Amino acid sequence: MNAPSAMSRRSFLSVSLVGGAVLTFGASLALAGEGEKEGVEPPVLNAFIRINADNSVVIGAKNPEIGQGVKTMLPMLIAEELDVDWEQVHIEQTLADEKIYGRQSAGGSRSTPVNWLPMRQAGAAARAMLAMAAASEWAVEPASLATGSGMVRHAASGRSATYASLAAVAAKITPPALDTVVLKPDDAFKIIGTSRRGGDTPAIVRGKPLFGIDTELPGMVHAALEACPVFQGTIASFDDKAVKAVKGVIAVVPVNTGLVPKGKFDALAIVADSWWTAQQARKQLTVEWDTGTLRAYSTEAYGKQASAALEGTPQGDVLKKGDVETALSGAARTLTARYDYPFLAHATLEPQNCTGLFEDGALTLWAPSQAPGSGRRQVAEMLDIAPDAITIHMTRIGGGFGRRLMSDYMVQVAQIARAVPGKPVKMLYTRADDTRHDYYRPGGWHELTAGLDEDGRLVALKDHFVSFGADGEPVRAAEMEETEFPAQIVPNVHFGVTYLPTNLPTGWLRAPTSNAMGFVFQSFLDEAAEAAGMDLPAFVLRLLGEDRELPKVGYAYQFNTGRARKVIEEVCKVSNWEAGRPAGASGKGRGFGFYFSHAGYFAEVVDVVVSQAGDIKVEKIWVAGDVGSHVINPLNALHQVQGAAIEGLAQAMIGQKVDQAEGAIVQENFDGFPLLRIDVVPQDVAVTFVTSQFPPTGLGEPALPPVIPALANAIHAATGKRIRSLPMALPDQTA
């Protein structure tokens, strides 16, 4: 993104000068106090903080909330340094405005590392301004003052004042430079590191409207979308006479979904006085689609093309290090295996939706978006309007997982809203729309070869990776990194790639690329460990060598072998790894997986029971992770890790896949793309955090990748059969 990742002093100052207009909250929050007029906004100390007359504090949460807890976590950072009690805090979602708030997105587990210092500095700067206000009134030095529980105190004179009584004066003080403010030492934390319930949880439990799908506005109309089932196909012709004859239908609007060139259309929106009317009228549409040769794309064709590609040489190289062929020819033992995994949908429980109002050349959106800034730019380009003419309200998101990093629903509703100016219009996908018009996690195929020396050490590693792309470049989320573990610590490595064409739009799915690569590489390393006569934890620990930071490569996160070692040792300790491993293929098995992604180090152990019929039951999962020096909200962190592990199981073991035939997606609902049911979820996902001296990082994603290979390796331990294809199937596909 082009927006700054941290709030600058200039934006901090300009915001504090514009007063209560910055955070546009309801008038009910504007509590009147002494000397204040009813309805006048309380003082705003900066873009994130407003002090109310009753000494409560409104803190703005700037990032999208998709269930990862950031709406609570970021205000915790501010509240800690502001030195108020958590019970004083009320949280409100800010507007999407990167000029004021800096980067606003939910993706890549970046919210914590990007905001760890800026949010604390915002709180500390406001605290300093309040202290300066008190010092001015009392004619004392600010250094002689102490703060706590929303109060400023002067011990020498016994005087004290609430933040509320000082806020009006403080708001007029020039804010200090953010890099000069004094932050609390770790041992003074009262909020950071304590478990806090999600701020929205009570409202969610009561079913109160929070999500994009809940948006209701006066005079609102509704839209259903009929999009070309074959991606990149366009409208050749259509007949909407029958649709317009349906009572309640307002308009039929040609729409560009964002997948075809500007000026072309690949969808029709039916706008009506209710969504049900729009959806029923949609069935009366007659559309001829121009799909050309796009119907040739299919899952079957991809499989044949991939098999042929693996028999040949790669089209290009991701990494060439040492001399792999010589090392393999001289190895004491070599092993080769092929792995594959399918396209996946995101299957968000809240289908894609967005509400828009186009009025007087300006657009207002209510969007459940993980990347509202990106959406703003795409909408502006599609409508040929200035980005500043677009206001975006961020609603809570009912499942993101990367799907809502794409802004197609914003672009689509913007076009519909412009066609019915002055009327708020809410567009809502059906479940079939959502499944058949996703941005899919791309499938892939790997042929790996490993060479071991006489001591069983990994001396050579080769992978021919086949996925999707064009002109030598991968499609979105089909990338392979040259730092893929364990490439940096093996002397001879060749990663080659071949890209197949596809018409499917692709996108990031939770722990993008890692969710697939972790399965492939950690499962294959388990095969190498077995060939070396070792278990996988011992094999990886020996591979890691001495504790050190490996050289940084490009934009990839720098890998620390010592941090990896500690989480592996910790998960083996808490799971009692050796003692808990059943002997032989007894139907019970224990598996291990390690992965480093999104700056997080995670090691996991899975215990399974496999029945004679091939049914897989996960009994327990142990997780050890290192996400830096602080776990800001332990309760939420626990839930994030447990949810990631459970989602990884869903991707692996219950038949999740997306098939394509004649250019279109076959699956339409949860019967074809199942979600993990509660009876399949293990009763215990035990989580341990290993703290380190490194700055905190995010954990929405890095806990997911290791669970899939740990499960696959556990099934091998239980049955003697290798899982080399996802979704998992026993017994015929593992022979």
* Omega cis (within 30) before 727: yes
Residue ranges of E strands in 584-724: 588-597, 600-610, 616-626, 660-661, 664-665, 684-689
Nearest to 93 by CA among 67, 49, 70, 62: 62
On the question of pLDDT at 24 being above 70, the answer is no
E strand or H helix that includes residue 477 = none
Burial of 530 (0-12, 13-18, 19+ CB in 10 A): middle
Transcribe 2-46 into DSSP letters.
Answer: -S-SS--HHHHHHHHHSGGGSS---GGG----TTPPTTPPPPEEE
Mean pLDDT within 532-544: 98
Mean pLDDT within 174-187: 93
Q: For the chain, give the percent of residues with pLDDT over 70.
A: 93
How far apart (Å, rounded) are the C-alpha atoms in residues 708 and 407? 29
Matching residue, tokens 């948006």: 215
pLDDT of residue 22: 29
Banded model confidence at residue 215, pLDDT cuts 50, 70, 90: very high
How far apart (Å, rounded) are the C-alpha atoms in residues 351 and 463? 37
Q: H helices within 268-318, ranges in order?
A: 275-282, 299-311
How far apart (Å, rounded) are the C-alpha atoms in residues 120 and 78? 5
In 10 A of CB 146, how many CB atoms?
12
Nearest to 609 by CA among 599, 617, 598: 617
In this structure, what token pair is assigned to residue 237? Answer: 């012709």
On the question of pLDDT at 37 being above 90, the answer is no
Q: How do residues 341-363 score in pLDDT, each as one tens digit?
A: 999 999 999 999 999 999 999 99
How far apart (Å, rounded) are the C-alpha atoms in residues 363 and 416? 11
pLDDT of residue 729: 82
Mean pLDDT within 164-172: 92
Which domains, from first to last, does the chain contain? Answer: 9-203 (3.30.365.10), 212-292+352-428 (3.30.365.10), 300-343+440-734 (3.30.365.10)
How far apart (Å, rounded) are the C-alpha atoms in residues 639 and 596? 20
| 491 three-class SS | coil
Banded model confidence at residue 436, pLDDT cuts 50, 70, 90: very high
How far apart (Å, rounded) are the C-alpha atoms in residues 2 and 665? 35
Q: How do residues 683-723 score in pLDDT, each as one tens digit?
A: 999 999 999 999 999 999 999 999 999 999 999 999 999 99
Contact, 601 vs 565, CB < 8 A? Answer: no
> What is the separation of C-alpha 231 from the centre of its chain, rounded to a whole number of angstroms?
25
Mean pLDDT within 214-231: 98
pLDDT of residue 586: 75
pTM: 0.93
Q: How do residues 455-512 score in pLDDT, each as one tens digit?
A: 999 999 999 999 999 999 999 999 999 999 999 999 999 999 999 999 999 999 999 9
- Cα 401 to Cα 61, 72, 438, 577, 644, distances in angstroms: 20, 19, 12, 31, 10
